[in-house]
């Protein structure tokens, strides 16, 4: 049977009002792409995979949570949704609101959102509001706005978002036949960490797996509140999707790291960009900088001897597609050359 999307494929395993009619773009069922070259650089016998969430309809894992959140919102009679966003939540909320035929308001930090994400939110017809402030400011604003109006909040503080996003863990188990030994992922607002841990915990409870993975969460060094142990007021990183100084799901994510025997760590922007480039050039997986952060941090942990992955299965969550952040993809790279329109000129150029 054709794929139904997250709500109808997993309805019996989601907390969702019975009978709620799915608002879906047939998200989910993303590939678990083997990364053999990068695996070799991590050590002997490492099995490394990317859960490539950039292949969801609006280009990030946010679609998994958004289909459930908007389905529930519409079932509850909502006429409008609102979110704060570093970009991907905005694009996703806008897409699902369009699908549902309801209004969408997105609040973003001015000048800090990748071009393709802003373009998405606008293309899907959302009302885009930029603020002179941070993501954390925006989240406070929309939390309060949703209390003072009929706007339904669809940030990952909304439990339906976690429900939808946990299905990525189910799919990993479907593909591997068990949980992996390690899961590494970027940590911004920490909703996705919370969701994967819930998903793997559900799987263990139902007996579909024999274990839960060790979870390694990774923040950018300039935006690493959970590593520092306190909120960061002016987070800075090239990885804009995780440029968050006070994660809303801090406690839940901390529980996941502790219970799994994992930890949260930080990596430099240079290491993030180098891993994004390695994923694209060595494996053909083009992701935005934030999405390479989990694997960049995992590789650093291995290099430092904090983790021994030899003979183990590792899943890196690659959270969003690179095409939404063209500026970072091209920054610091040579511009393409222009030549005369002759074959001789082309062959000269190729041999240079």
Ligand X SMILES: *Cc1c(COP(=O)(O)O)cnc(C)c1O
Contact residues for ligand X, defined by CB under 6 A = 60, 62, 88, 156, 186-193, 241-242, 288, 290-291, 319-320
Tell which residue, 269, 325, 277, 272, has the closest CA to residue 87: 325
Rounded to whole angstroms, how far apart are CA atoms 53 and 55?
Answer: 5
Rounded to whole angstroms, how far apart are CA atoms 24 and 190?
Answer: 24
Rounded to whole angstroms, how far apart are CA atoms 182 and 315?
Answer: 6
Report the residue number, 62 or 312, with the smaller CB distance to ligand X. 62
Distances from the Cα of 222 to the Cαs of 34, 176, 238, in angstroms? Answer: 30, 35, 9
Looking at residue 11, the DSSP 8-state letter turns out to be: G
Q: Minimum Å distance from CB 320 to ligand X?
A: 3
Report the residue number, 120 or 320, with the smaller CB distance to ligand X. 320
Under 8 Å between Cβ of 157 and 220: no
Report the residue number, 46 or 153, with the smaller CB distance to ligand X. 153
Q: Minimum Å distance from CB 188 to ligand X?
A: 3
Give the burial class of 53: count Cβ atoms within 10 A of its Cβ; 0-12 exposed, 13-18 middle, 19 or more buried. buried
Tell which residue, 114, 70, 119, has the closest CA to residue 93: 70
Distances from the Cα of 301 to the Cαs of 188, 194, 267, 305, 309, in angstroms? Answer: 19, 21, 10, 6, 10
Q: Minimum Å distance from CB 156 to ligand X?
A: 5
Q: Minimum Å distance from CB 242 to ligand X?
A: 5
**70: enclosing H helix or E strand:** helix 62-75
Rounded to whole angstroms, how far apart are CA atoms 338 and 346?
Answer: 10
Q: Minimum Å distance from CB 315 to ligand X?
A: 15
Q: Minimum Å distance from CB 247 to ligand X?
A: 7
Tell which residue, 60, 139, 149, 57, has the closest CA to residue 98: 57
Report the residue number, 216 or 241, with the smaller CB distance to ligand X. 241
Q: Minimum Å distance from CB 117 to ligand X?
A: 8
Nearest residue to ligand X, by Cβ distance, number only = 320
Report the residue number, 5 or 186, with the smaller CB distance to ligand X. 186
Q: Minimum Å distance from CB 2 to ligand X?
A: 27
Residues 6+ apart with CB under 8 A from 34: 47, 48, 49
Under 8 Å between Cβ of 127 and 103: yes
Report the residue number, 62 or 166, with the smaller CB distance to ligand X. 62
Report the residue number, 35 or 187, with the smaller CB distance to ligand X. 187
Report the residue number, 20 or 90, with the smaller CB distance to ligand X. 90
């Amino acid at each position: 049977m054709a794929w139904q999307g997250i709500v109808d494929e997993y309805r019996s395993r989601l907390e969702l009002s019975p009978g709620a009619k799915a608002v879906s773009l047939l998200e989910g069922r993303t590939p678990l792409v083997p990364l053999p070259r990068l695996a070799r650089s991590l050590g002997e016998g490492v099995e490394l995979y990317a859960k490539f969430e950039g292949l969801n309809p609006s280009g990030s894992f946010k679609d998994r949570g958004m289909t459930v959140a908007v389905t529930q919102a519409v079932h509850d009679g909502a006429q409008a949704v609102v979110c704060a966003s570093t970009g991907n939540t905005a694009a996703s909320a806008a897409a699902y609101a369009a699908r549902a035929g309801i209004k969408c308001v997105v609040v973003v930090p001015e000048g800090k959102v990748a071009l393709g994400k802003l373009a998405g939110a606008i293309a899907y017809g959302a009302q885009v509001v930029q603020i002179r402030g941070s993501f954390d400011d925006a989240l406070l604003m929309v939390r309060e706005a949703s209390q003072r109006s009929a706007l339904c909040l669809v940030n990952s503080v909304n439990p339906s978002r976690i429900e939808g996003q946990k299905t990525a863990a189910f799919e990993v188990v479907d593909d591997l036949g068990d949980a992996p030994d390690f899961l590494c992922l970027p940590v911004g607002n920490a909703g996705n960490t919370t969701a994967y841990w819930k998903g793997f915990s559900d799987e263990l409870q139902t007996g579909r797996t024999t274990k839960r993975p060790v979870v390694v969460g990774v923040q950018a060094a300039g935006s690493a509140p959970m590593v520092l142990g306190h909120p960061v007021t002016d987070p800075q990183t090239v990885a804009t999707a995780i440029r968050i100084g006070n994660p809303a799901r801090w406690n839940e994510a901390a529980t996941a790291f502790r219970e799994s025997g994992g930890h949260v760590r930080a990596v430099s922007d240079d290491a993030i960009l180098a891993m994004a480039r390695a994923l694209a050039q060595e494996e053909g997986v083009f992701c935005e900088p934030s999405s390479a952060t989990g694997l960049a941090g995992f590789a650093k942990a291995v290099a430092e001897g904090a983790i021994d992955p030899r003979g183990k299965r590792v899943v890196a969550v690659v959270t969003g597609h690179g095409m939404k952040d063209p500026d970072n993809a091209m920054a610091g790279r040579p511009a393409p050359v222009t030549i005369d329109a002759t074959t001789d000129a082309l062959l000269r150029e190729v041999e240079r």
